Chain A
Amino acid sequence: VQLVESGGGVVQPGRSLRLSCAGSGFTFSTYGMYWVRQAPGQGLEWVALISDDGNDKYYADSVRGRFTISRDNSKNTLHLQMDRLSTEDTALYYCAKDMGRFRFVFHYWGPGTLVTVSS
């Protein structure tokens, strides 16, 4: 199993950014997927989850209405569209694979991609 995030960078408050996560070594279309973030020096925070078929999506209260999780099973890729970013969104963003459709287990993690929101 391998997960590799990309798309992080420095962005101004109020702007948008789109993260991607490429999965390999497993049947991508049969697992739920997550985004989890970790602010510098802080703990882990669940951000969003998506079902194996992409039809069901759920968000943490802190990002609902601003972030959109999606997936392209034909390309084994997970996305996170982040709009109206604020400085509080500065964090290392990890994608993670579930053990099944909705097992609520972060089974495998990518190395993360850093998002810095700063003027």
Chain B
Amino acid sequence: QSALTQPPSVSGSPGQSVTISCTGTSSDVGDYDYVSWYQQHPGKAPKLMIYDVNKRASEVPDRFSGSKSGNTASLTISGLQADDEADYYCCSYAGNYHVGFGGGTRLTIL
């Protein structure tokens, strides 16, 4: 069982926007700003997209943005492109030097 809850799948058409939610608790997402997001294409290693809730990793386009409200973090992807089709994982520090991942969300471009 994953520490953080993500929707199994989301979809959108090219040019549209989608938001992926990541729900934790007051002991992880709600208590720390160490929330990050990772993109994983099939057969590839994950890639850091967002860290510290809303900071973009280097060379990540500004179409990707992160936010947090209470115990829920969100990743928004605007201007969807075909290459955005991938699995996305959220991650949060959970105290006591422990880290938890969400179960992952499959983004499908229609």
A residues with a Cβ closer than 8 A to B are 34, 43-46, 49, 56, 58, 60, 94, 99, 102-112
Please report whether the interface of chain B is mostly helix, strand, loop or mixed according to DSSP: strand
**Docked CA distance A43–B6 (Å):** 11
- State whether A107 and B48 are in contact (beta carbons under 8 Å apart), knowing that A43-B2, A43-B89, A44-B89 are contacts in the complex: yes
B30 CB–A CB distance under 8 Å: no
- Interchain CB contact (< 8 A) of A109 among B36, B46, B102: B46
Once bound together, how far apart are the Cα atoms of A59 and B103, in whole Å? Answer: 19
Q: How many residues of B contact A (CB 8 A)?
A: 24
A-B contact pairs, 8 of them (CB 8 A): A43-B102, A104-B91, A104-B93, A104-B99, A105-B52, A109-B45, A109-B46, A111-B45
Asked if residues A44 and B98 are in contact (CB atoms below 8 Å), the reply is no
Residues of B within 8 A of A106 (CB): 36, 38, 46, 48, 91
Binding site for A on B (CB under 8 A): 2, 34, 36, 38, 40, 45-48, 51-52, 57, 89, 91, 93, 96-104
Residue of B nearest to A109 (CB): B45
Is A45 a contact of B101 with CB atoms below 8 Å? Answer: yes
B103 to chain A, nearest CB (A): 5
CA of A34 to CA of B48, assembled, Å: 14
Q: How far is the CB of A107 from chain B (nearest CB, A)?
A: 6
The answer to whether B34 touches A104, judged by C-beta atoms less than 8 angstroms apart, is yes
Note all chain B residues with C-beta closer than 8 A to A105.
34, 36, 48, 51-52
Please name 5 further chain A to chain B contacts, defined as beta carbons within 8 Å, in addition to the given A94-B46, A107-B51, sorted by A numbering: A43-B103, A44-B89, A56-B97, A106-B38, A106-B91
